[in-house]
Amino acid sequence: MILENKTAIITGATRGIGHAIAVRFAKEGCNVAFCGRTRNEKMIAVEQELSALGVKAKGYATDVADYDSAQAFVKEVLADFGKVDILVNNAGITDDSAVKRMTEEQFDRVMHTNLKSVFCMTKAIQPAMWRQGHGAIVNIGSVVGIAGNYNQANYAASKAGIIGFSKSCAKEFAARNIRVNVVCPGFIETEMTAEVPKELMATWCSRIPMKRPGTADEVAQACVFLASDMCPYITSHVMPVCGGMEDA
């Protein structure tokens, strides 16, 4: 088990890609602290699912886009788990619209949830990782942050911002053996993409060399690798997980 005895924080793990990452990490022996915005049945079910895999697991209700909430979340996790070796910043939203029609509120909400949250969580965990002299941060970007997309200027900007932020942190933190990498999923089947009309889904798939959407678990496998000790010299890397999509 390649993450045995490690502890990870995974944001937004109540469903979708974050949930798949939490399950993969637990199967690799990693203790998992995760969050969603509310403590509900889903969160409790994920706690139980992860605990059944033989690791310590706890869900926290946190808004990671809020600076003080992120600080309190990390403080609580450190008190409960004793240390944090890995941070996966996965929580994210979309609120699509053409720029012509996009409101300021739509732009700000996506930027705060997707990009400011990465700053808030990195700020909160950085002192503990700095003290312990190691850490792995995996930020979930998107191929849309590399290539752009129709009706997703706010989302693309937030995900492109994650790449710039991560590469800067990689430089600043390297001396303390803290690695920072980005995983950029392509088109992955989750609740976030469930609303995409079938015809549009078929068009998208036809443009993917592998001719299918990816699975959340395929993204999770890339995260396991980047979070593990299998790549101690990999930092500042942007890894697309997209079936060979153009521009990624």
Which one of 123-131, 163-171, 186-194, 224-232 is the stretch in contact with ligand NAP (CB under 6 A)? 186-194
Which one of 91-99, 120-128, 172-180, 202-210 is the stretch in contact with ligand NAP (CB under 6 A)? 91-99
Q: How many chain residues are in contact with ligand NAP, going by CB under 6 A?
A: 30
113 contacts 119 by C-beta, under 8 angstroms: no
Which one of 90-98, 128-136, 223-231, 232-240 is the stretch in contact with ligand NAP (CB under 6 A)? 90-98
3-state secondary structure 191-221: HHHHCCCHHHHHHHHHCCCCCCCECHHHHHH
Give SS3 for 78. helix
108: left (phi over 0), alpha (psi -120 to 50) or beta: alpha
Least Å distance, CB 120 to ligand NAP, is 10
Near ligand NAP by CB under 6 A: residue from 59, 135, 161, 185? 185
Check binding of 91 to ligand NAP (CB under 6 A): yes
89 contacts 118 by C-beta, under 8 angstroms: yes
The site string for ligand NAP over 99-118 (x = CB under 6 A, - otherwise) reads --------------x-----
Which residues participate in catalysis according to the annotation?
155
Element (H, E) at 87: strand 86-89
Check binding of 240 to ligand NAP (CB under 6 A): no
Q: Which positions from 6 through 35 interact with ligand NAP, judged by CB under 6 A?
A: 11-18, 35
- Give burial (CB, 10 Å; 0-12/13-18/19+) of 236: middle
Q: Look-up: residue for tokens 């890609």?
A: 17
Check binding of 154 to ligand NAP (CB under 6 A): no
Interface residue list for ligand NAP (CB under 6 A): 11-18, 35-38, 62-65, 90-93, 113, 140, 142, 185, 187-188, 190-193
